[in-house]
Amino acid sequence: MIAINLDVMLAKRKMSSGELAARIGITQANLSILKTGKARAIRFSTLEAICRELDCQPGDILEFKEV
């Protein structure tokens, strides 16, 4: 499975989940779905917005885990 590790980058940038959600234009509930790994897919536009706001690369937040 592909895991999205937002907590580390949020801590590095000293940003809260709510603030990130508001900046990238999604609800906190959807951001929570991303963080908890319940999302089935992520749009490139959402990934682009996350990387832009957190000033990081997709590889910094995406991780492949064997299930």
Partner 1 sequence: MNRKISAILSLVICILSAIVLVIGVFLFPKLFARFYETYHLLGPEFLLKEHPAYTVIPTFYLCSPFAAAALFMLIRLLVNIIKEKVFVRQNVALLFGIACSCYAVFAVCAAAATRYFPLVIVAFAMGVVGTLLLVVKSVMRSAVELREENDLTI
9-17, 38-46, 51-59 -> range binding partner 1 (CB under 8 A)? 38-46
The region, left, alpha or beta by phi > 0 then psi within -120 to 50, assigned to residue 25 is: left
Residue with Cβ nearer partner 1 (35 or 56):
35
Query: Exposed, middle or buried: residue 19 (CB in 10 Å: 0-12, 13-18, 19+)?
Result: middle
* 1 in contact with partner 1 (CB under 8 A): no
Do 58 and 47 form a contact (C-beta atoms < 8 A)? yes
* 41 in contact with partner 1 (CB under 8 A): yes
* 51 in contact with partner 1 (CB under 8 A): no
- Report the interface residues with partner 1, using CB under 8 A: 26, 30-31, 33-34, 38-43, 46
